[in-house]
Chain A
Amino acid sequence: MTHPSSQPLALPRRHLLALGTGALLVGALIVAGVVLPAEFNHDPLGFGQWSGLSRLSASSAAPGTTVALRATEYATPFRSDTLSIALAAGGDSAHRDELEYKVHLKKDADLIYSWQVVGLDNAEEFYSDFHGHEPAPATSRNLVVATYRQATGLQSNGSLRAPFDGIHGWFLQNQSDHPVTVKLRISGFYDLVPAGEPGNEAGLQPDGVTR
């Protein structure tokens, strides 16, 4: 089927050049003004800032990667506890100069912590090992242990997202020649380990429950 009006276009060169230049300019304008700010967080013309298009890309965590940004919900209730942990002078085996205190965290549960050593000036004389492992393993072999932070120092502030279901906490060791107190504050989605059970063999109790 041929159509009388269906002829190929035959425009003068002048018109073609004008059309091509126009298309190129408009295209470049759209790319620079809209695509770059909206998709790539670049704003050469300032139009993205002016129009709000930049907000589309400015807040994305990593351009080009699909990041599932979502809230994490927990079955475990939120709680906060403060503990005062008294430790005897280092080497005083008659009293307690080191202990472990852990709490139970389910996998991916968050814990925020902060502790300071009171009564000590030398940061080299206090050692801590922040770690976690599976709760009460049936056999000691294949025990999953994760070490988070081993250091000397008089304070530590941070947070942990538990890599697995288990007990997570600190081995605290006083190496100085006088007794100290560790002020520990924790918040998050954890359960306390009952006194005497693994993770709280020392039988510590929170100062006052502030749920």
Chain B
Amino acid sequence: MHARRHGLRGLCSLIVIVTLCGLTSLASAHGFAGRDAAFVANAAGFDPVPYAYLGARHMLTGYDHLLFIFAVLFFVFSVRQVLLYVTLFSLGHSFTLLLGVWMHWQFNAHVVDAFIALSVIWKAVDNLGGFRAFGWQPDNRFIIPAFGLIHGLGLATSLQSLQPAANGLLPNLLAFNFGVELGQLLALIAMLGALALWRHRTNFSGPAAIATNTLVLTAGVVLLGYQLAATAFLRS
């Protein structure tokens, strides 16, 4: 009874976190507002702080990235494992972010974001034991950096939609990437803190864990639906 009450409290606080993240509108989650586009269009030359800020904000307001990181962290308990998976994920998304912008890869942002939504769904199913139950446990040391590559494509696509000037592109890109990592670190600290509290106080692998991951799964389905609808209905 005691444990269940704490579990519910943990679940409630998580729902609040997810809802707060969701308050930033769907439309602005992955696009940049016109004001930012104007900034980038006017910026030429090395301008690290604004680019780092845009990167950090993109991460902190992009709840598909946040949901995925949260799902990755959910059943990772040791500091070593946290560092391993976060590093693998960061390597993945940094690689495609830098390469994608540098090589001017043009992808449909909504298709990329649909794959990012799929990564959320995948990890939620993995957390629920959905693969194990059917006799297969995917190796997250490969899966997570692979999804990192896809998340990086999303970052690259959104940065390119701002049409950054060629002058000073590489250092600005690195600053943006630095901001992304910084934002991710902030999000990580908050999530690890919340998860540590929850794990410490209650039967972690109980109904609340099932409910939370089912919620993440549902959110992934909604994000997927949103991006598919955007692909179908919006002319880009």
Number of A interface residues at 8 Å Cβ cutoff, please give it.
34
A10 to B135, CA, bound (A): 12
With an 8 A cutoff between CB atoms, is B158 at the interface?
no
- Chain A residues within an 8 Å CB radius of B222: 27, 30-31, 35
Q: Of A2, A5, A32, A40, which is within 8 A of B203 by CB?
A: A5
Whether B78 contacts A1 by the Cβ 8 Å rule is yes
Nearest B residue (CB) for A10: B129
Whether B125 contacts A35 by the Cβ 8 Å rule is no
Q: Of B78, B124, B218, B233, which is within 8 A of A26 by CB?
A: B218
Whether B205 contacts A19 by the Cβ 8 Å rule is no
With an 8 A cutoff between CB atoms, is B33 at the interface?
yes
Number of B interface residues at 8 Å Cβ cutoff, please give it.
42
A3 to B199, CA, bound (A): 8
Whether A64 contacts B230 by the Cβ 8 Å rule is yes
- Chain B residues within an 8 Å CB radius of A32: 225
> Given A31-B226, A64-B230, A64-B236, A8 and B77 touching (CB < 8 A)?
no
Whether A3 contacts B77 by the Cβ 8 Å rule is yes
Q: How far is the CB of B35 from chain A (nearest CB, A)?
A: 10
Whether B209 contacts A9 by the Cβ 8 Å rule is yes
> Given A10-B133, A28-B225, A42 and B233 touching (CB < 8 A)?
yes
Whether A23 contacts B221 by the Cβ 8 Å rule is yes
Q: How far is the CB of A75 from chain B (nearest CB, A)?
A: 25
Whether B233 contacts A63 by the Cβ 8 Å rule is yes
Q: Of B27, B75, B128, B199, which is within 8 A of A16 by CB?
A: B128
A12 to B132, CA, bound (A): 10
- Chain B residues within an 8 Å CB radius of A27: 217-222, 224-225
Whether B129 contacts A11 by the Cβ 8 Å rule is yes
With an 8 A cutoff between CB atoms, is A194 at the interface?
no
> Given A23-B214, A27-B221, A13 and B229 touching (CB < 8 A)?
no
Please report which residues of chain A, range 19-37, place their CB below 8 angstroms from some CB of chain B when the two chains form the complex. Answer: 19-20, 22-24, 26-28, 30-32, 35-36
With an 8 A cutoff between CB atoms, is B138 at the interface?
no
With an 8 A cutoff between CB atoms, is A69 at the interface?
no
With an 8 A cutoff between CB atoms, is A210 at the interface?
no
Closest 8 CB pairs of A and B: A27-B221, A31-B225, A64-B234, A23-B217, A9-B129, A23-B218, A40-B233, A5-B203
A32 to B225, CA, bound (A): 8
A22-66: contact bitstring with B at CB < 8 Å (1 yes, 0 no)?
111011101110011001111000000000000000000001101
- Chain B residues within an 8 Å CB radius of A42: 229, 233
Q: Of B31, B75, B230, which is within 8 A of A8 by CB?
A: B75
A39 to B235, CA, bound (A): 14
> Given A28-B221, A66-B34, A6 and B77 touching (CB < 8 A)?
yes
A27 to B225, CA, bound (A): 8
A32 to B133, CA, bound (A): 30
A40 to B26, CA, bound (A): 12
Please report which residues of chain A, range 108-136, place their CB below 8 angstroms from some CB of chain B when the two chains form the complex. Answer: none
Please report which residues of chain A, range 163-198, place their CB below 8 angstroms from some CB of chain B when the two chains form the complex. Answer: none
Q: How far is the CB of A26 from chain B (nearest CB, A)?
A: 5
Q: A6-B75, A9-B127, A42-B233 are in contact. List 18 more A-B contacts (CB 8 A).
A: A1-B78, A3-B199, A3-B204, A6-B204, A10-B129, A11-B128, A23-B124, A23-B218, A26-B221, A27-B217, A27-B219, A27-B222, A39-B26, A40-B229, A40-B234, A42-B229, A66-B33, A66-B34
Interface centre among B213, B233, B236 (most CB of A within 10 A): B233
Sampled A-B contacts (27; CB under 8 Å)? A3-B77, A5-B203, A6-B205, A7-B205, A8-B129, A9-B205, A9-B210, A10-B132, A11-B210, A12-B133, A16-B128, A16-B129, A16-B130, A20-B130, A23-B124, A23-B214, A24-B221, A27-B220, A27-B222, A27-B225, A28-B221, A30-B222, A31-B226, A31-B229, A32-B225, A35-B26, A40-B230
- Chain B residues within an 8 Å CB radius of A26: 218, 221
With an 8 A cutoff between CB atoms, is A209 at the interface?
no
